Each structure stands twice: as C-alpha cells, then as structure tokens.
Structure 1
Amino acid sequence: MGPLGGAPRLVLLFSGKRKSGKDFVTEALQSRLGADVCAVLRLSGPLKEQYAQEHGLDFQRLLDASTYKEAYRKDMIRWGEEKRQADPGCFCSKIVEGVSQPIWLVSDTRRVSDIQWFREAYGAVTQTVRVVALEQSRQQRGWEFTPGVDDAESECGLDNFGGFDWVIENHGDAQRLEEQLESLIGFIRSRL
C-alpha cells in the first residue's frame, strides 16, 4: 500500500464532530497558503460519488450541507462502513491520486484506520489535527443530535484517539481561532 499520489511534504489529517468547523479551518488554511501549495482532500468525496452512482442519486447535492444529503446520511454511513470493512484504505487511496501540491489537508478524517493508512503510506510527514467546538457553538451552526449519526463510528471513531499533534479550538472566538491558525501556518511554512 504505497503512496499513490505525489510525495507530500506535509499531510495534516483533520478530524472533529459535525459542525466543529473542519471545512472552515481547512479552507481558511488553503486560502492563505494558496491552492498551488495546499490541496484540501475530502474522504467523503469518493464515498459520496460512488454511493450516488450505485444508488442513482445526485452526487453534487450529496456534497453540500443540504437536507438532501441528510436524508441519505445514515444509509451512506452504513454503505461506507461495508466498503471500509472490505478495504480500510479504499477511500484514502482514491483521494491522493494525482495530487501534486506539497501540502495536503485531509478535511474529514473520521477513523483510526484512516490515520493508520496515511501514517503507513506517508510516515513522518503525517500529523493529526483535532478541531473542537463547544456543543453550543455547534448548535449555533445548525447542529442537532441525530441518533445513528452522531453516535456512530463516523462521528465517534476518534473520540478516544488522544495524542493529536494539534488541537484547534473553534468555539466562536475569532481572535483565538486566528492565533491558532497563525501558529499552524507557521509550522506548515517551515515544511515547505
């Protein structure tokens, strides 16, 4: 299971609960570093694309934060778990194909097996980033507890992982978030 994309200088694996701000943080980092230097990779992309093909659904609508996606979320999680049981790295290997930027931000790492795959494939250049937000902040962003989703491995698989290389607190304090992003950007630039 060797690297299938280019040789990255740094792979940051972002994880966190729904509405914690994983996409917001990775997009903010990419906009500051530049798309030519920094690629945002989404494990959910190939999962949703294949799920849409097999179930005759609109792939583009599964990508956004819509009620359309929410209607299929539970079944998509079940289906994705079946695929991962057959091949734990099936979605990881797809997202790295042809990526040429030196910095990779995987915006939606959800399982220990995802972290293991990247560590085995890319070794010491792989780091983990946990984005955390208070439940109140997540609710203000539209989060509501959904049984079968928020208590499933796709949301809880890294709750007890511990030992994250970075923790970004995204509770709604813009200044505090900016300080943390600047620190992470400094680290990223040191790897270029």
Structure 2
Amino acid sequence: MAPRGGAPRLVLLFSGKRKSGKDFVTEALQSRLGADVCAVLRLSGPLKEQYAQEHGLNFQRLLDASAYKEAYRRDMILWGEAQRQADPGFFCRKVVEGVCQPVWVRVPRGSIEETPCLQASLSGASLLPSVTVTRGGSNPVGATPRVDDGESECGLDNFGDFDWVIENDGDEQRLEEQLGNLIEFVRSRL
C-alpha cells in the first residue's frame, strides 16, 4: 500500500502499565501489518528528545532500558507533566508530524490530556478503539514508587471500558490468539 497524506483511517489507542508488554504488542501488530500500513506513535520519544536537549543529556541512552534512563526517569516524568500542563498538545503535535500510514497505533504515556490533541489530527479516521495491555497482578514488575503510581502511568486507570483487553500473562498461545483477533479487526476496517 502506498503511503498517503492526511488523517489515518484507523487509530488504535494503547495503554498499559510500564512493563506490561504494550511495546511488544504494538511492535508485533506493526510487524504483521507492515510498516507501510501501520505507524507506531510513541509520545515518549519526543518527550525524551526535548528533555535531553534541555538538560544536555544523551537522547539515545534515554530511549533504552538502561540505568542511565532510570536515573532521570522521575525528573523526566515531572518535567513532562509540567510541559503538558503548559501546552497539552505539544508532544502530540511532534509525534504525528509527517506520519502517512493509514493505521496509527498510539502508545499513550497514560495522560488523558493528550487525547484531544490526537483527536484533532483524526478527521477522517473511522474508529478510535482503545486497547489496554495487562499483566497479572496489580503492580508492574519492578514497580518504583512515585514513578509507577504517577499520572504518566496511571492517568488512564479510570478511563472506563476498553474496546480490547490484551492479557499478557505468560500464555504465549493465548497472546497469539488475542493478537490474531486484533489484526483481523484492523484488516476488516481497511
């Protein structure tokens, strides 16, 4: 499918606690649909890039799962929340620039304030189903107080009913079934 400009035809809004597997699920979805069809949008990239620029840090190291990123995580979260309070759509506008695929898979940081900005970019998108990825237990693996219980991780906890729930509890066959059902749904809307 050739790239096209304008609004997407379908947007899937993903959420889930840190380490729930939402990145794994969204990357599997993109891999199976193809990068020319499906764009994975992450607000954390523009946030980390801007934070690195303003604080003289290594942007690439803030992207990985390293002790370097963890050393700055709490301050970066507080800084990001302050930026969103000043301009709720700042990071959203940065992440959708130049995206032309018909399917957008968005991994929100958990902040509900960014959703109106995203919705403003979506004239023409037929559906905005919400998907949450869960992992067994109420706390994520390696939960960090004042990081994993903050707005950036818990802002969508009381969102209401999600259209899809992907249970990532270690049962690979069940996870594959759930991914297959979601992919079938996406393809039926294109």
Fold conserved between structures, TM > 0.5:
yes
C-alpha distance after superposition, 1:15-41 (max 9, x if no partner): 000110010000000111111111111
- Aligned residues: percent identity? 70
**Residues 1-192 of structure 1 mapped to structure 2, 5 A cutoff:** 6-122=6-122, 124-135=126-137, 138=140, 143-192=141-190
Once the 2 structures are TM-superposed, how far is the Cα of residue 136 of structure 1 from its aligned partner? 8.6
Out of 52-61 and 120-129, give the one that drifted further: 120-129
Q: Distance in 2 between matches of 1:68 and 1:149?
A: 15
User: Aligned-pair RMSD on alpha carbons?
Assistant: 1.7
Q: Distance in 1 between matches of 2:189 and 2:23?
A: 22
Q: Distance in 1 between matches of 2:144 and 2:46?
A: 24
Q: Distance in 2 between matches of 1:109 and 1:172?
A: 23
User: Residue 114 of structure 1 aligns to a residue in which SS?
Assistant: helix
Is the Cα contact below 8 Å between 1:8 and 1:102 reproduced in 2?
A: yes
More helix by share: 1
Which consecutive residues of structure 1, in runs of 5 or more, have no partner in the other structure? none
Q: Report the CA distance shift for 1:147/1:174 in structure 2 as closer, same or farther (over 3 A).
A: same
Deviating beyond 6 angstroms after TM superposition, the runs of 4 or more aligned structure 1 residues are none
Q: Distance in 1 between matches of 2:138 and 2:113?
A: 30
Letter in 1 for 2:121: A
Letter in 2 for 1:12: L
TM-score by length of 2: 0.91
Once the 2 structures are TM-superposed, how far is the Cα of residue 120 of structure 1 from its aligned partner? 4.0
User: Residue 148 of structure 1 aligns to a residue in which SS?
Assistant: coil
Letter in 1 for 2:165: V
C-alpha distance after superposition, 1:121-162 (max 9, x if no partner): 326432211111113995xxxx31211101100111111111
Q: Report the CA distance shift for 1:136/1:121 in structure 2 as closer, same or farther (over 3 A).
A: closer
Q: Distance in 2 between matches of 1:159 and 1:120?
A: 23
Aligned length: 184
Is the Cα contact below 8 Å between 1:38 and 1:104 reproduced in 2?
A: yes
Out of 75-84 and 109-118, give the one that drifted further: 109-118
